């Protein structure tokens, strides 16, 4: 065997640093799984039963050192598990979170615009949500200065936000 033969086999294997980066990436995925809510975790397809048990165990550990060891164990289990379904599930959750956040920002922007611009913004709001009651929105616009003087501005803004959120949710279901 010559030096060139051993060099080729070394090039096929990842370096120790690369293997460590891969292990840390798997451990980070494990940490993320542990930190998910129960409902989100149930939506992710975890093919390995031992991995599911290890995640459940980690969720119940409160000691910092014990949790760190359990997370390392989860990373070790993930090395032998197909992580594609897990990564797909996490990506799906990320996308749903982004859509939800965008919806909240859209509703907040509409609420703020109604409060600042009043009747000028009403046409745009009705274009976004045709099911909205124009008379109710006008009433809220007229009440805004009065509620601000009374010190009920935050409660008034919450009511308007809630109404616009319901409209947005109804529009999302119809789509």
Residues 56 and 17 placed together within one structural domain of the fold: yes
Q: How far is CA 93 from the centre of its chain?
A: 6
Q: Which of 32, 56, 82 is the last residue of a domain?
A: 82
Q: How many domains does the chain have?
A: 2
88 part of a folded domain: no
Whichever domain contains 141, its CATH number is 1.10.60.30
Query: Domain limits at 46?
Result: 3-82
How many Cα atoms sit within 13 Å of 3 on the Cβ side? 0
Nearest C-alpha neighbor of 132 from the set 92, 165, 97, 91: 165
Q: Which of 23, 47, 82 is the last residue of a domain?
A: 82
Q: What does the alpha-carbon distance between residue 124 and residue 114 come to, in Å, rounded to a whole number?
A: 10
- Burial-class residue 30 by CB neighbours within 10 Å (0-12, 13-18, 19+): buried
pTM for this prediction: 0.70
- The answer to whether 54 and 1 have CB atoms below 8 angstroms apart is no
Residues 101 and 157 placed together within one structural domain of the fold: yes
- The answer to whether 93 and 37 have CB atoms below 8 angstroms apart is no
And the tokens for 117?
């611009």
Residue 173, pLDDT score: 75
Rg (CA), the chain: 26
Phi-psi region of 118 (alpha: psi -120 to 50; beta: other; left: phi over 0): left
Residue 9, pLDDT score: 56
Residues 170 and 109 placed together within one structural domain of the fold: yes
Instruction: Chunk the chain into consecutive blocks of 10 residues (it has 175) and report each block's average pLDDT, rounded to whole numbers.
Output: 52 87 91 93 92 94 93 92 93 94 94 89 90 91 89 90 92 74
Q: What does the alpha-carbon distance between residue 51 and residue 172 come to, in Å, rounded to a whole number?
A: 36
Residues 63 and 111 placed together within one structural domain of the fold: no
Residues 104 and 170 placed together within one structural domain of the fold: yes
């Amino acid at each position: 065997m010559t030096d060139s033969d051993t060099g080729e086999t070394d090039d096929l294997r990842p370096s120790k640093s690369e293997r460590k980066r891969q292990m840390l990436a798997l451990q980070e995925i494990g940490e993320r799984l542990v930190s998910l809510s129960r409902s989100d975790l149930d939506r992710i397809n975890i093919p390995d039963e031992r991995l599911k048990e290890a995640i459940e165990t980690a969720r119940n550990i409160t000691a910092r050192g014990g949790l760190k060891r359990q997370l390392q164990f989860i990373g070790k289990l993930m090395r032998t598990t197909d992580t594609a379904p897990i990564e797909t599930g996490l990506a799906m959750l990320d996308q749903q979170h982004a859509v939800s956040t965008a919806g909240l920002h859209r509703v907040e922007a509409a609420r703020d615009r109604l409060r600042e611009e009043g009747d000028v913004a009403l046409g745009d709001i009705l274009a976004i949500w045709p099911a909205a009651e124009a008379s109710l929105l006008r009433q809220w616009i007229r009440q805004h200065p009065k509620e601000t003087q009374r010190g009920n501005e935050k409660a008034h803004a919450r009511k308007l936000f809630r109404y616009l959120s319901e409209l947005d949710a109804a529009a999302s279901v119809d789509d």
